[in-house]
Amino acid sequence: MSPMTDLGLRFVRRPGPGGRAANLAALGATAVVALLLTFLVAGSLGLVHRSDRIGWRGADKADPASAIGAIGQTEETVDGRQVLRIDLATMRPNQLPPPPGLDHTPKPGEVFVSPELAKHWPGPKPTGVISDKGLSSPEELVVIRGVARVDDPQYVSSWRDSVMDSRMVGLLIAVAFGITLVLFPILSLVGQAAGVAAKRREHRLAALRLAGATRTQVLWLSAVEQAVVGLAGAVVGLVGYTVLSPLIARIPLGGGRWYVHDITVSWWLVLVVLVAVPILSVISALIGLGRVSITPLGVVRGQTRKATSALRLGLLVIGPVVLGIYGMKAAVIPLMIGVGMAALAVRVVGPWAVQLIGKTMAGLANGPVALLAGRRLADDPKGAFRPVAALVLSGFVTGFISVFMPNGQGQDEATFHDLRIGVALLLSLVFLTVAASTAAGAVGTALDQAAPARALRRSGVPLQVIERSARVAAVVPVIGVGLPVVGFGALCGLALSGGKIVTQGNSGVLLLIGQVVAGLVLVAVAGAAGAPVLRKASAN
């Protein structure tokens, strides 16, 4: 083991003043990232598994002259419940496997029902019960009936044709779009987890550089430390997902609840999460330590970072233009690119906006609280924006969705149900990401400000003034950047819809109000949680 590797492991075991809180915050944030990543991938694969079991029902590609059978689907009511009835006719003898979930191909007069329907079946005892290998969900109500002839048939060459179910295809498209919306808040959470103790690590590694350590050694040391924390967080996230799987399976999406085995984590997904999460954490940590590896004296002296450029504003145009050009009828990939570019623009422009607000606050300050908060924002806009980046990006997601809130009009009941559950699920994922990022950011910001706060306390500045300025510096970016970003998200939604607000009623307005209230509450709670850390870290 190299000396730097050993030293990195020692820093994990003995992190020093404030290090334990920073590592715990980073561990928790990384665990949330791993859990969300596992959920998104496992859920997408679960939809594919469900489609594989029921896709044959929509098969319609065989030549009637060579088809082995025909099927027909109708909706009917059994005991007051909507039931899918599938009529199945065998057109010529064959030895092909029966439809999924059945022990044999139904003959005319034979009836197979799903387990849930069997509990309420009013007629004679059915021939058999469809197993979970032929059902979309445990509560699906479906009957497969053997008949001699099918009206308006769909011809099939096999009872197990590999066809994607149309409802599952729609859900997969919606999932891909949702992943694009939630991707940048998750990446911001990764950066927050990696940078939660950036200031503490920055000064420590700068001291090692001044003592003779090379740039490569310093970066390797940081990589080892962050990789251990990232790997531990990935393990905790995977365990958390496994524990929560039975609850996740109860989400009624795509026709009903899930079979747990549909969303169970496979071995290769475990490996992907255990490798991807630490790698993303290490990359984020190394990006944040570029200043240490180049100018360690600047870190020790507290040298101000280079100002951000207003040229970043140009990025705000790309996303809306792409969405406006392609519109609602475009393919999924161009729309995902347009949304991704808009979210990326928010992430890149955010620090510039924070710096502008900080300079304005400092210039107009008529008291120590506003002056200290303004200087904090102006001197380190990236560090000030990082803790609230996920929260600001959640405002973009909320603004975008507010234009497309499902209202049930012009939609069948199944589609409306899926859209409603999907929106609630997406917002829940975003809120979980924001909550984890804000909590980790509270600890990271407190540790970042420990040295300046200590110097201010020694110079006679009251602790109450320092804490109030810290709270102001946390709230101002949320209001000054977050509120315009909500409007920018709505603008992108309007660009996609051609200027038409799809949402009817007041659900979109209520969603926007809820976003603002939730954001302010999260920042207030995070400020209260970070105050003891700042007080303790700046006491010595």
- 398 has which bridge partners? none
For residue 359, what are the CA distances in angstroms to 279, 352, 364, 374, 407?
36, 11, 9, 6, 44
This prediction's pTM = 0.84
261: pLDDT strictly greater than 60: yes
User: 10-36: per-residue pLDDT in tens?
Assistant: 777 776 655 677 778 788 889 999 999
pLDDT of residue 293: 52
Q: What is the per-residue pLDDT across 312-369, written as a single tens digit (0 to 9) for each? A: 778 888 889 988 888 877 677 888 888 889 998 998 898 889 999 999 998 888 888 8
Render pLDDT for 469-527 as a digit per residue (tens, 0 to 9).
888 888 888 888 988 999 999 999 899 888 888 787 788 888 888 888 888 888 878 77
Q: What is the pLDDT of residues 157-185, one digit of tens each?
A: 888 877 888 888 888 888 888 888 888 88
pLDDT on residue 88: 92
Collapsing DSSP states into helix, strand and coil, what is residue 309? coil
| CA distance readout (Å), 453 to 29, 372, 450, 468 | 25, 10, 5, 12
- Which residue has tokens 């140009």? 314
pLDDT of residue 484: 92
| Cα 330 off chain centre by | 24
For residue 282, the model assigns a pLDDT of 85
- 279-289 pLDDT, tens digit per residue, is 988 888 777 66
Q: How far apart are the first and last CA of the chain?
A: 35
Rounded distance between C-alpha atoms, residue 291 and residue 305, angstroms: 9
User: Residue 71: left (phi > 0), alpha (psi -120 to 50), or beta?
Assistant: beta
Is pLDDT at 291 greater than 70 in this prediction?
A: no
Alpha carbon dihedral 429, 430, 435, 437, in 10-degree steps, equals 110
The number of helices, as runs of H, and strands, as runs of E, in the chain is 19, 6
DSSP 8-state assignment for residue 266: P
3-state DSSP helix/strand/coil % of the chain, to nearest 5: 70, 5, 25
Average pLDDT (438-466) is: 80
Q: How many residues does the chain have?
A: 540
**113 φ, ψ to 5°?**
-125, 160
In this structure, what DSSP letter does residue 133 have? G
- Cα 171 to Cα 139, 311, 454, 515: the distances in Å are 18, 38, 53, 25
| 539 DSSP assignment | -
| Residue 533 pLDDT | 74
Reading the block at residue 203, the tokens are 């000064």
Q: What phi, psi does 460 have (nearest 5°)?
A: 105, 5
* Residue-wise pLDDT tens digits, 386-436: 888 888 989 999 999 888 877 666 566 777 788 888 888 888 888 888 888
